[in-house]
Each structure stands twice: as C-alpha cells, then as structure tokens.
Structure 1
Amino acid sequence: TICTLVHSYLPFSQFFHSQFPTKLLNSVMHTIPELLAPAGDLETALAAFESGADAVYGGLSRFNARERTHNFSETDFARLMAYARTHGKKVYLTLNTLVMDRELSDVTDFLSLMSGLRPHAVIIQDFGILRLIREHYPELPIHASTQMAVHNSAGVNFLADKGISRVILERQVTLEELALIQRHSNIELEVFIHGALCCSLSGVCLFSSWMGGWSGNRGKCKQPCRRRYFTPNGNGFFFSTKDLCTLDLIPQLKKMGITSLKIEGRLRKADYVRSVVDAYRLMLDTPKGEEHVVLKEARNILNRASGREWSSGFFTQKAMKSVINYDSMGSRGQWVGDVISVRPNGFEMKTSRRIFIGDKLRVQPASGEEGPSFIVTLMRENTTPVRRSDKNVRLFIHCDKAIPQKGKVFRIGSPVKYPRINVDKIPEIRHWIRLEIRIHPGGLRARVTDPHLPHSITLSGDVQKAKKHPVTQQDLETEFLKLSVDGIGLLDLTVILDGDYFIQNKTLRSLRQSLAGLLNESLAAYQSQKRKNIPEFSRKPLENTGSEPVTSVYFSQGEQDPGDVWIIRDLDDPAPAHERLLPLFCPETRLQALRQSITKAIQSGTQTFRVSSLYGFELLKEFSGIHIHGGFSLPVANSMAFQELTDWGADKILLWPELDRSGFESILTHWRDKAEILTEGRLPILMTRGVIPVEGDIRDSRGAVFTVVKTDTLTWLYPEKEISIKPFPGVHQFKIFFRDKSTSGTDWNLNGEWK
C-alpha cells in the first residue's frame, strides 16, 4: 500500500495550481490573480494573510532593497515559512540588491540557509546572484525584480531562458503595453498595483548615490526625489510622484491574466497592509461585471491607509502627465479635519470624521511640506477626555509637536489589530524536504526524494508482523508529520507499507525522533559540503597585462567627434560611428520597429552594438557576426555577474559606476581585458517617462546644480559636475561627451566605500 500526503494540510486548489503553469491557468480559466502583500516583519505578514493576501514578500537584514527598515530575523522567517506552507500561502524572499565580490561569500552562506527554509521564490536584481542560484541552488525558484528594469516581452523571454520563472515588470509600463507583453511572454508576470512610486525607471537611478553615496541599488535610498528644487521661475517637488492606486483598473488586470498583483510597502506596518489588502481583496473577489458596485466601499477601506494623492501611475499616457505632484510632498491619508488654533500643549481642530485614541495623525501645512506626525494618546471634547470623538465637533488633541497653523489633519494609521494567530505555536522549521517512509520487519527506511538532496536512512526498531491491530497509514502520517516539532517540514510524505505490521506507539515515536536527529545532522552536513564546493572570487594584486586599452566615447546627436577614439552613437543617429547604442527603454509597441532599425544598421556596416537593457540581448541573438558591449545601465557589480554577461555574448562590459576602488579592482583581477570603466562625463542619474514640470538647470537647497533634458521618450536628469576618474592601467575607458559639459569634476564614490 502506498499513500502520498502532498504538502501537509495543503488545499486541493493549491495542489492543483502547483501542477500546472499559472500563466496557462490564468489565461485559460480566467482565475483570480495572486494578491501579493509586503511584509517587513512576522506580525505584518500574518495580518496580510488574515486579510486575504495569497502571498507576501519580505527580506532579512541584508541584501534586500529595504535595508533601512525593520526586517525578518531568521527565526521569524522560518516560522513564516511554516505557517505559509501549512495554510496554502506563499512567501517570496527579497534578495534584490547589487553585491560586490567581497560579499559573495556572505551571500552564498545566506543562500545555503535559505535552501533549507525553502521560500517559494527568491526575488533578485544581481546577475551574479542569478548565476549563483541557478547553478548551485536549483531548488530555489527565481523571480526577476523590478530593479532589472524589464519593460517588454523581449526582456521577459530572454530571462525565461536564463532560469527565471517570473518577471516583476518595470512600473513605467502602460496598460496597452502590459496587455501585449502578457500576450507575447513565456513566463509569469507580476505588476505593482498600489503604493509609492519611484520617479525614475527602476534599477538605473543613481540620484541618491550621487547626492551622498547612499545607493538605492543597495537598499539605502535617501529619496532625494522627494526634496524641493529651485529654478529662476519658481520651486517645487519636481520629482515627487503621487501614489499608485488601481482599484478601478482591477477588472482590466484580471481580464489580462496577469499572474500576480503586488502591493508596495515593506516600510509599512500591519495597520496599513491590512487596510490595503482588505480593499483589493474585495475588488478581486467581486464577480465580473459587478466591480463598480463595491468600488466605493473599497475606496473607503483604502482611505484608512496613509499615503500621498492617488494616481494611476504610469498605466496611461494621461496619468504620466500628472503623476508628478510638484506642489506637495506630504504623505496624506484620510482627511479627518482642520486645525483651528494652536496652543503650547496641543491644538484645537474641527473634525470631519471620528477620531480614536491610538490613531496616528499627520498635520500637513499649507506649504505642502511634510508635517509632524504623532499618535493620539489624549483628547478632549469640551474639556472632557474622550476615547472616541464625534464628527463635526471641536476637539482638542494634546501633543508636544510643533503644529502648523491652519494645517490639514490626516489619519495615516489606526490602532493595530494584531493577528489572531499565536506566533509561539508556529514551529521553527529549518529544513523542508520531500520524504518517503517504508516500513519493514525490524525497522524503517527513510528516503529524501528531493533531486538535490539524495539521502537515505535505515533505522532499527521493534516492528513485527501484526496478528491484530496493524499500524495504519493514518497512524504513520500523524506521527511523521510531527517532524515539524524537530525543525523538519514535509513538502510531501509518501508512506509505503509492504504488509500488516504491529508497532507500539512508543516505538513509533522513538523511530521518528531518531530519524529527526539523523536528518538534521545529514542535511546540515550536506549544506556545509555544498557551500564548500562553490568557488570563491578572491582578491589578487593587480597586474598590468600590457594590452592596449581602448577609449570609447559616447556622443549625443549633433556632437562632432575629435577623432582618434572609438565613437559610440545612438542607433538612430545618422552621423558615422564605430558602435551603436540601443535605447535604454523600448516600449512593447516599438519592438518590431527597433528590430528593423538593427537590421538596417547591420546592412549599413555596423558590427558592434552596446546593450543598455536586457531586451537587447534577446533582439541581437537573431544576428550573427556581430559584437556586443554591455552598457552602464546593466549593473555589473561583481565577477559572477561579469561571467554571466560574457556567457550571454558580451565582448566588453562597462562596470557599474557606483563601485568603489576595491570593487573595481576585484573584478579587474579576473576580467581586465574585457572590462571597461567610466572615467569621464556627465552620467544620467534619473530617467523617467513621467512629465517633469521643468526643463533646463535646477538646483537643490545646498546649491548643487542639475540639468533636466527632455527627449521624445524619456526625461533625463544630469548633474552639473561630471565624473572624473584616473584611468586604471591597461583598462578600457568609457567617456560621455555632453554638450555644455562642466569643467569641474568629482571622483564620486571611487575613494570611499560603497554603501
């Protein structure tokens, strides 16, 4: 007799979906997309699940794009995985930052730990981490972060061939483009539906890094886009975007068959996440054609969550024109009244809604600046303390903050409704495996059936042929599911009985406990040995190979070259060049036209192309006899990433400009002849499809000057100062020639440590 228990307590619907591609099911069966919520800690994750989220995403303290917030401990993440796997939920681990060679060892240790905890997928940005997981941790599915800046089906399908199972698309894609990408893509797609927006295209923003060395690609963005900037004609928050809200677009997204709908907000707490999940769960579960009936209710639920003014983001051309909220940076929420007067110990206000003790309020001044926020601990109506106010009354709120006169009061948080789940009762499971148990006279044989964890254990015990009361399948399943108490979770359990056997309960328990101890030892040893088998990228002294370096210079249209350099120009620039640069951004609607332009360039004699986005590799693989160079917007920050791009066909690769000297030198140790370093020029530090309300020179409050340049497809932000780095001996140089370039220069981050 053979009994297989799939995924302990796994609902049949979840099992069914695990056997078939989600993209196929969504398109054929028109299933409801996955609702994916952010989680910065265990409490928030459980609140999201209770409110109806199908999955959550979150990270630990290192190597994720929200390092400046509270993150999971190893213990809490293990408990989250245990809860999710026994309740038909999913958890995606964020490992979505760039890493350097000196950190690869720590990343490998981290992945060894995660290979036991088995998140349902790992979200990544770094090409080196992609290579590391694909080659050494195949048990971990890989999702491409939005930081990879994939914005068309060519990019999606290229990553599908590299081991990616889902792509989280660039936020700056329209609904029309999204429908086409979904139709032409071979793997799952995930899109953001709610939360804060970045002004820049994802993964290529250097604004925070330029302003102080705090890299957004390392989870440390200081959000300079939220600051005020100045021009001769006025000032404003020229890069501060409204928040994304797509409640009214849910019917269209469901119809498209998008696999996963994602809520932004890992910096947020449980009250915010609960409200947002509640609102979108309501919209997703409403039958087709009836969404308009519940839209108002969903908006009222969403009003409980703090945020900026709502917008459709970049989903329509109209929304792109108004996504920048240049006259206000304030984070809003639910408007609850206006300030009447201010006193030393608080302020009086006229309420428009009820206010409760424990509410978190923000008072926004008329200037639109970020106002003070606080939690209400004491308030009075007509000098009488109350725990709940009425609406349309005068209310005095005690606080010690500087409250702006005539400010508007917004509720940005409510008293936290803690999860009903007892966290202490969730087991801390460190290893998830597939297990086969075979009972035979004298004991049992246990076999781990995961392809990457081949292992067998034989145990002796008092197992006899049964004269009466034979052990049942259910007895065995019940006992061995208790392996969770010993830190071992079962993805599935197969029990094989070759006959009728009698086993005393204490014998069966002893066999299970012995098995748990041996499994934990063998699994830990396996992970340790596997870790030792992964090659290290060690530092070696730099040596001059004697090869002749090449200086490559990019010229914008209309600029004349000085001669004696390798000239790079845009693909559509009619001026002669040795190398053609493919566009950073190519909407799905222009892919075919771009293919034709590449064909025409080759027919005209071009043999070298510079790829600035992943889709370029997919387009260029159709052509033979050409050379490919990697551009600055492909973040190569470590030797594994460099190796990955060479395998994709790149002959020369520009190293990521945020690297410090140590980071450059480590890669040059292995790849000097193929590496290129940006040594001079004004590097674009922000690129967007949004309509920026200014053009030309602007400055910040400290006097730093920037230039806003608009083209047909994108708006670009350049710093006044240019990068100026002393060339490394024998290494190829890359320069950017920019009209009106500055005479001053900066080493930027070269002599510091990359943060």
Structure 2
Amino acid sequence: MHTIPELLAPAGDLETALAAFESGADAVYGGLSRFNARERTHNFSEADFARLMAYARIHGKKVYLTLNTLVMDRELADVTDFLSLMSGLRPHAIIVQDFGILRLIREHFPELPIHASTQMAVHNSAGVHFLADKGISRVILERQVTLEELALIQRRSNLELEVFIHGALCCSLSGVCLFSSWMGGWSGNRGKCKQPCRRRYFTPDGNGFFFSTKDLYTLDLIPQLKKMGIASLKIEGRLRKADYVRPVVEAYRLMLDSPEGEEQTALKEARGILNRASGREWSSGFFSKKAMKSVINYNSMGSQGQWVGDVTSIRSNGFQMKTSQRIFMGDKLRVQPASGEEGPSFIVTLMRENTKPVRRSEKNTRLFIHCDKAIPEKGKVFRIGSPVKYPRINMDKIPEIRHWIHLEIRIHPGGLQAVVIDPPLPHSITLSGDVEKAKKHPVNRQDVESEFQKLSVDGIGLLDLTVILDGDYFIQNKTLRMLRQSLARRLNESLVAYQSQKRKNIPEFSRKPLEKTGSEPVTSVYCTRGEQNPGDAWVIRDLDDPAPAHERLLPLFCPETRLQDLRQSITKAIQSGTRTFRVSSLYGFELLKEFSGIHIHGGFSLPVANSMAFQELTDWGADKILLWPELDRSGFESILTHWRDKAEILTEGRLPILMTRGVIPVEGDIRDSRGAAFTVVKTDTLTWLYPEKGISIKPFAGVHQFKIFTADKSTSGTDWNLNREWK
C-alpha cells in the first residue's frame, strides 16, 4: 500500500485557494505582492494571507508561501522585514530560489521550513543530497526530468521531492532562462517574464512558434507517481482563477484516490472533468524522450484558453468578431496577435448582435464586443476565464491571526503563568486573578483549553497548547475570561517587541563606496571546443574537451543516468593534473566534495545576485564566483564592496539565454518579427539559444573578468543591463 502524495494547487488569491481546498487539494501555494515568480498576477494581501493560514490550520490543510525570485542587496532589508512578518503568520514552508534568502531564513528565521524552488534547477540526486544539510526540507525538481530519472532520484534521495503534474510549461530549464530579460530587461527570475518563447520566429525556410510548449498533463501517469513515493504533486497556474483550478484539482483528486485496479474507470471520468479547464494542447511534457520530441507546438500559437473566434474589424470602442463558440457576459477573453506576443485581456461587460445588446452569443455569429483595449488586427480570441460563481466560504468567521505560537499555561494560586515556547520569548508572563483552592467543582483542563483557544479572536493562533494545573482550583468563568483577555494584550505586545528586536539583531549590509585594491584582476576565458588559446588568459574548457586548459567546466545539466560517468570524468581530469573546476549547477558542489586539493569556481548559471548569496557560495567552497549577469550597475557595485577579490563579472561574449531538453524544430539562425536575431545550437544533451549580439561592458577596476570565446566573436551589444534598473 503506497502513501497517497500531497496534491498541491496554485492560488493567486483567496477565492482560488478556497476553491482548491473545497475541490480536494491538500495544500496550496501562493505569494504576496513582491518577491515571487508571478508578480504579474493578483497576489494575496497580508490580511487575506493571514485568514488563509487560519482557515488552513483549522481544516488540516497546508499553505506554502512563494519567495522564489532573485533579490539584490538594496532589497535585503525589505525581504528581512517581510520574513519577520511571515515568521508570525507561520506558513507551512517558504519556497525559495535565491541562495541569499536561503541563508537569511536558515540563520535568522529557523522556525520557517524551506522548500527549494524548481528555480534552483535541481535535476539529479547529487543536487538533492547537497541541499540536505542546507536547511532544506523539500526539493521541487526541475520540470525537465524524465520518469525514469525521477524514479532513480527518488530511490537515492534523502529529502522530500515535489514534481509538477499539470499546467503551463516553460521551454527553458528552470532558473537559467534569460530570454525575457535579454529582450527588454523583464526578468523571469524576478517574476516579470514577458514570455518571448510564445512568439513567432522566422527562418529562410519558414516560420513558427519554435519555443512554445504544450501544457503538461499527467492523469495517465498518476498511478506510477503514487508507486514511486513522491511527496507532493504540483499543479501549475498562479495566473489562473478558481474556474480553472477547481476542475483541475477535482480531476487529479479523483485519480489519486482511485483504488488500484480501478484507475481506468477513474481516468475516463477525470478526463471529462479536466475538459472544463481551458488551456493549451495537452502533453506529457518532458517525462519521456518521446514526449520531448513533441512538447514544442511550433505550428500553433501558444495561447492558453479556448479559441472562441477571430477579430474581423476594429473600431475605437471595441471590435467585431466571428464566433466559433458561445460567448457569455462576464467571460474573460484575450485577443492574441499573429506574432504570438501577449495580447490584451479583459472581461466582457457589453456585447451586441446587430446593434442589440445580448448576454450570450451563439456559434458562427457576428458579434461586436465593447472594449477600451488596443485590439490587434486579425487577432484570435481566446476565453481564459468564465463568469461561473462558486459558493463562497464565509470568511468573516475566520480570524485574521498574525501570530502563531506554542503556549504553555500554568494555573497556580493567585493567578496564571504563561510561557511561549515557540517563538522562544525571553520572559514568561505572570497574571494575577481570583484563583483559589477548590472546595468543590474545581476547574478542569478542558475548560481552560476551551477558553484560551479563544485567543484567536485577539489575533493569536495556537499551534499547540499545554495546560498545567498544580492542584484543584476554583475559577469563575468571568475570571478565566479576564485572564485570557489580559494575556492576549500582553502576548501581542511581547510578540511585536520580540519580532522588532529580532529584526534589529540581523546585520545590515553596509553601503560604503567602492574602494580600489592593488590586486591585479585575472581574465578568464571560456573557449568552446576547437577554439585556440586566445593569449595569456586563464583558459576554461568543458570537462570532456581534450584541448589543454587551466580550469574545467562541469556541465550545466547532468541527468541522473549520467552521474556516475561524470564522476569518472572528474577523477580522470584530476589524475591528468586539473585542479580547478567551475560549477554551473548545485549538483557540482556535491560531486566535488569527494575530492581534496582542488579549487572550485562558481559560474553561470548559479544565480548570485546579492552579498548573502555570495557568502553562501564561499561557505560551500567556492573561491571565485561569477556574479549573476542580469544585475544592474548598482547591484554589481554593492556586492563588490564586500567581495571584490573573489568576484568575477562577465564582460564579453555571447551568453546562452535559453536551454532546453525539448526538441526545437529549427537549427541555426532565426529572427523575430522585430528583427532581433538569434542562433539555435544543438548538442547531444541540450539545445541552446544564443542572441546574435554579445555582451560587451567596461571592466570594473580590480575585478576579475570572464569572457566567452567562440568562433563567432561578435560582441556588438553594449552594457546589457548596467545602465538601467533591473526589472
């Protein structure tokens, strides 16, 4: 008998979270307005998140908070304030990408469990093992892991694993995509992706949506995932609303609960339920080599939702369309341009047939929809939300709890003593009251527990309550109530003071001006296979490149099935005299732990965007670290204030902006509708997308440089993000 995995649903707001719970989700994940990978959507307010936490604890559910973006030094103070608030609300876990935030939580907010985001790009058991002693309790695996690899990782892992089972897919490997950032500074690693992978691209032989993936669907795979023992199965979709989340959760709940031998009957019913949720064409994603060949839907615009018609003409107050499906008042529509770029979305509030207002249209009719958005000519119209209303839980009965605590209450002659065990308040609280030895009718433990559970009315939730009666006491109900109310006031004061003091104890990063050092910077050059040594530079080559080099680069992606071969390659390199290795993924630190007398450098795609992340990597053994290339000038300068001698900055070369295991239907040069040029390069493991222009920035004084040396040395691009704020 296998334990049924947790079913984890997305929640962009309170209504969606409650719909997910009502439909059978065991847990939901969502974020507040900042520092999460879906900043484009409507997120939780602090009050709604507090109520959601209370609802979840009352009903035995879980809530995970997303804090899964990269932050800069200038934002660390805000992140710390945010975590201080969250330490009172006590989400069941914080989902993180940034190594600095990982360090901050582990050292200063240990009461908050940490889940490693899929943005950490963990894709093999070595990466999981490496995180086991870093404060992580669960790893959300890279989405581009096959079922075969997943089974091996699960058997070899010592942490809980979570995998995605449904929803939109990114074409690129998680946490390393720079596509949106390159196209306009809108970083996907900051929750602001503009989805350039959904656009149309052009080659001399034709055009298509060469990076646009189908949606992930795994109802058929649920029996296998149950048998593997995966801890949590995750549905993607924090941009989606309750009308989408409800049927998706219902469908997967049905499959998870179906007994062995009855899966096929359940599958038929579950598919019918799932058909109510609008989305793209289904695919099993990257779960098999066969699926990787068809996950890219290059012949079709990658729009989510149900196609309901085409725009035929545009006016200043709306547009005319021909319908392919019924459209209802209150539908949420998106009009997609032919380029595949993201089109405008809106809710239908007025529509007409032959100048007559209607509340619904039929198929194959001419319909005018009033709209104040800029509608693209000949756009395709998709329904992305419905006006269906679901019964709303009365949240007025759910208290807005700001502090969750473990409380011990001791009743003694003359009053009460309260000790907050978690968080560990430094002083107990003593209250006097009319408490005396009972001659008859002594108060019992249940009466005391019942009264003090009402602390929730005062914004205090009890994770655990211990009541100790030193003897038999008589306490009137009004006295017990008075003690509870007095305790609530004192607890709130103490908890606020505790959080404030805790916040003050966290060191701030200084903002001293840059100081020049006398050390000479070293220029490191990565040479692709076949490239000659470009001079006196420190040469870096791939681990399997036979040409001589000072340093060897471990591969960005190493499938579980190739881990042992990679260990052997590292051993051979060391035996041949290599003493310096560059790590581009977390698993590399774990493999290199087996060897002594070597040096480790941190490279792309390890996201080091702040000083705390830099400190974390130095603790892991890195003695030179490439700073995250998306940083703006102030972001670089702040880290250099602390870590100039160990920092390295990419100053020249073409950096890959998308990497995927999916089979891209083109190779070589491509362009978008605006003339931006790119090159698609295929290897035996991954497909890489490079921009035509490279990065070329003026080196920082006294700082190590990193350059990429390729056959095409074009570096006509300048100052990628240095002269504008990183969005």
TM, length-normalised to structure 2: 0.94
Deviation at 1:293, TM superposition (A): 0.8
- Whether contact under 8 Å (1:328, 1:369) holds in the other structure is no
Equivalent in the alignment of 2:607: 635
Q: CA 1:753/1:470 → structure 2, altered by over 3 Å: closer, same or farther?
A: same
Q: CA 1:396/1:226 → structure 2, altered by over 3 Å: closer, same or farther?
A: closer
Q: Look up the SS of the partner of 1:277 in the other structure.
A: helix
- Whether contact under 8 Å (2:199, 2:340) holds in the other structure is no
Q: Deviations over 1:389-412 (max 9, x none)?
A: 899999998889999999987653
Q: Deviations over 1:332-370 (max 9, x none)?
A: 445678999999999999998776554445677999887
Of stretches 600-609 and 347-356 in structure 1, the one that deviates more from structure 2 is 347-356
- Whether contact under 8 Å (1:158, 1:617) holds in the other structure is yes
Of stretches 351-360 and 236-245 in structure 1, the one that deviates more from structure 2 is 351-360
Deviation at 1:375, TM superposition (A): 4.8
Q: Look up the SS of the partner of 2:422 in the other structure.
A: coil
Equivalent in the alignment of 1:301: 273
- Whether contact under 8 Å (1:431, 1:489) holds in the other structure is yes
- Whether contact under 8 Å (2:200, 2:340) holds in the other structure is no
Deviation at 1:296, TM superposition (A): 2.6
Of stretches 292-301 and 360-369 in structure 1, the one that deviates more from structure 2 is 360-369
Q: Look up the SS of the partner of 2:319 in the other structure.
A: strand
Of stretches 634-643 and 282-291 in structure 1, the one that deviates more from structure 2 is 282-291
- Whether contact under 8 Å (1:38, 1:58) holds in the other structure is yes
- Whether contact under 8 Å (1:65, 1:219) holds in the other structure is yes
- Whether contact under 8 Å (2:15, 2:392) holds in the other structure is no
Q: Deviations over 1:593-628 (max 9, x none)?
A: 000000010011100000000000000000000000
What is the alpha-carbon distance in structure 2 between the residues aligned to residue 131 and residue 402 of structure 1? 45
- Whether contact under 8 Å (1:329, 1:369) holds in the other structure is no
Q: CA 1:685/1:336 → structure 2, altered by over 3 Å: closer, same or farther?
A: closer
- Whether contact under 8 Å (1:362, 1:371) holds in the other structure is yes
What is the alpha-carbon distance in structure 2 between the residues aligned to residue 369 and residue 212 of structure 1? 13
Q: Look up the SS of the partner of 1:190 in the other structure.
A: strand
What is the alpha-carbon distance in structure 2 between the residues aligned to residue 372 and residue 733 of structure 1? 42
Deviation at 1:664, TM superposition (A): 1.0
- Whether contact under 8 Å (2:308, 2:325) holds in the other structure is yes
Q: Deviations over 1:535-554 (max 9, x none)?
A: 11111121222112111000
- Whether contact under 8 Å (1:329, 1:370) holds in the other structure is no
Q: CA 1:452/1:642 → structure 2, altered by over 3 Å: closer, same or farther?
A: farther
What is the alpha-carbon distance in structure 1 between the residues aligned to residue 111 and residue 354 of structure 2? 64
Stretches of structure 1 lacking an aligned partner (at least 5 in a row): 1-28
Equivalent in the alignment of 1:216: 188
TM, length-normalised to structure 1: 0.91
Q: CA 1:312/1:669 → structure 2, altered by over 3 Å: closer, same or farther?
A: same
- Whether contact under 8 Å (1:610, 1:628) holds in the other structure is yes
Equivalences for residues 442-453 of structure 1 within 5 A: 442-450=414-422, 452-453=424-425
Of stretches 653-662 and 391-400 in structure 1, the one that deviates more from structure 2 is 391-400
Of stretches 701-710 and 342-351 in structure 1, the one that deviates more from structure 2 is 342-351
Q: CA 1:392/1:558 → structure 2, altered by over 3 Å: closer, same or farther?
A: closer
What is the alpha-carbon distance in structure 2 between the residues aligned to residue 341 and residue 754 of structure 1? 38
Q: CA 1:317/1:457 → structure 2, altered by over 3 Å: closer, same or farther?
A: same
Corresponding position: 1:348 with 2:291:
no
Q: CA 1:455/1:193 → structure 2, altered by over 3 Å: closer, same or farther?
A: farther
Q: CA 1:571/1:369 → structure 2, altered by over 3 Å: closer, same or farther?
A: closer
Deviation at 1:174, TM superposition (A): 0.5
Q: Look up the SS of the partner of 1:750 in the other structure.
A: coil
- Whether contact under 8 Å (1:240, 1:326) holds in the other structure is yes
Q: Look up the SS of the partner of 1:165 in the other structure.
A: strand
Q: Look up the SS of the partner of 1:513 in the other structure.
A: helix
What is the alpha-carbon distance in structure 1 between the residues aligned to residue 535 and residue 93 of structure 2? 50
- Whether contact under 8 Å (2:248, 2:277) holds in the other structure is yes
Deviation at 1:468, TM superposition (A): 2.2
Figure out how many residues of one structure are paired with residues of the other and give that number: 727
Q: CA 1:728/1:371 → structure 2, altered by over 3 Å: closer, same or farther?
A: closer
Q: CA 1:385/1:215 → structure 2, altered by over 3 Å: closer, same or farther?
A: closer
Q: Look up the SS of the partner of 2:312 in the other structure.
A: strand
- Whether contact under 8 Å (1:303, 1:334) holds in the other structure is no
- Whether contact under 8 Å (2:651, 2:696) holds in the other structure is yes
- Whether contact under 8 Å (2:63, 2:91) holds in the other structure is yes
- Whether contact under 8 Å (1:330, 1:371) holds in the other structure is no
Q: CA 1:74/1:349 → structure 2, altered by over 3 Å: closer, same or farther?
A: closer
Deviation at 1:270, TM superposition (A): 1.5
RMSD: 2.8
Deviation at 1:289, TM superposition (A): 2.3
Q: Deviations over 1:31-72 (max 9, x none)?
A: 111111111111111111111111111111111111121111
Q: Deviations over 1:278-299 (max 9, x none)?
A: 1111111111221211223222
Deviation at 1:504, TM superposition (A): 1.1
What is the alpha-carbon distance in structure 2 between the residues aligned to residue 748 and residue 381 of structure 1? 50
- Whether contact under 8 Å (1:328, 1:368) holds in the other structure is no
What is the alpha-carbon distance in structure 1 between the residues aligned to residue 196 and residue 315 of structure 2? 33
Q: CA 1:290/1:348 → structure 2, altered by over 3 Å: closer, same or farther?
A: farther
- Whether contact under 8 Å (2:608, 2:614) holds in the other structure is yes
Equivalences for residues 182-581 of structure 1 within 5 A: 182-334=154-306, 357-360=329-332, 375=347, 411-450=383-422, 452-581=424-553
Same amino acid, percent of matched pairs: 91
- Whether contact under 8 Å (2:199, 2:339) holds in the other structure is no
Q: Look up the SS of the partner of 2:210 in the other structure.
A: coil
What is the alpha-carbon distance in structure 1 between the residues aligned to residue 531 and residue 36 of structure 2? 41
Stretches of structure 2 lacking an aligned partner (at least 5 in a row): none
What is the alpha-carbon distance in structure 2 between the residues aligned to residue 188 and residue 382 of structure 1? 59
Deviation at 1:226, TM superposition (A): 1.2
What is the alpha-carbon distance in structure 1 between the residues aligned to residue 342 and residue 359 of structure 2? 27
Q: CA 1:552/1:330 → structure 2, altered by over 3 Å: closer, same or farther?
A: closer
Q: Look up the SS of the partner of 1:258 in the other structure.
A: coil
What is the alpha-carbon distance in structure 1 between the residues aligned to residue 35 and residue 572 of structure 2? 43
Q: CA 1:728/1:362 → structure 2, altered by over 3 Å: closer, same or farther?
A: closer
What is the alpha-carbon distance in structure 2 between the residues aligned to residue 365 and residue 734 of structure 1? 40
Q: CA 1:267/1:340 → structure 2, altered by over 3 Å: closer, same or farther?
A: closer
Q: Deviations over 1:152-191 (max 9, x none)?
A: 0100110111110000101111111111111111000011
Q: Deviations over 1:88-125 (max 9, x none)?
A: 01011111111111111111111111111110000001
Q: CA 1:430/1:375 → structure 2, altered by over 3 Å: closer, same or farther?
A: closer
Q: Look up the SS of the partner of 2:136 in the other structure.
A: coil
Deviation at 1:631, TM superposition (A): 0.5
Q: CA 1:278/1:446 → structure 2, altered by over 3 Å: closer, same or farther?
A: same
Q: Look up the SS of the partner of 1:593 in the other structure.
A: helix
What is the alpha-carbon distance in structure 2 between the residues aligned to residue 207 and residue 297 of structure 1? 39
Q: CA 1:582/1:347 → structure 2, altered by over 3 Å: closer, same or farther?
A: closer
- Whether contact under 8 Å (1:567, 1:579) holds in the other structure is yes
Deviation at 1:129, TM superposition (A): 0.7
- Whether contact under 8 Å (1:679, 1:726) holds in the other structure is yes
Deviation at 1:144, TM superposition (A): 0.4
Q: Quick one: which of 663, 680, 690 aligns to 1:718?
A: 690
Q: CA 1:380/1:673 → structure 2, altered by over 3 Å: closer, same or farther?
A: closer
Deviation at 1:379, TM superposition (A): 7.8
Q: CA 1:636/1:383 → structure 2, altered by over 3 Å: closer, same or farther?
A: closer
Q: Look up the SS of the partner of 2:165 in the other structure.
A: strand
Q: CA 1:732/1:354 → structure 2, altered by over 3 Å: closer, same or farther?
A: closer
- Whether contact under 8 Å (2:434, 2:475) holds in the other structure is yes
What is the alpha-carbon distance in structure 1 between the residues aligned to residue 75 and residue 366 of structure 2? 57
Of stretches 703-712 and 606-615 in structure 1, the one that deviates more from structure 2 is 703-712
What is the alpha-carbon distance in structure 2 between the residues aligned to residue 377 and residue 526 of structure 1? 50
What is the alpha-carbon distance in structure 1 between the residues aligned to residue 196 and residue 362 of structure 2? 39
Q: Deviations over 1:299-319 (max 9, x none)?
A: 222222221111111111111
- Whether contact under 8 Å (1:304, 1:412) holds in the other structure is no
- Whether contact under 8 Å (2:406, 2:423) holds in the other structure is no
Deviation at 1:221, TM superposition (A): 1.0
Of stretches 304-313 and 588-597 in structure 1, the one that deviates more from structure 2 is 304-313
Of stretches 332-341 and 160-169 in structure 1, the one that deviates more from structure 2 is 332-341
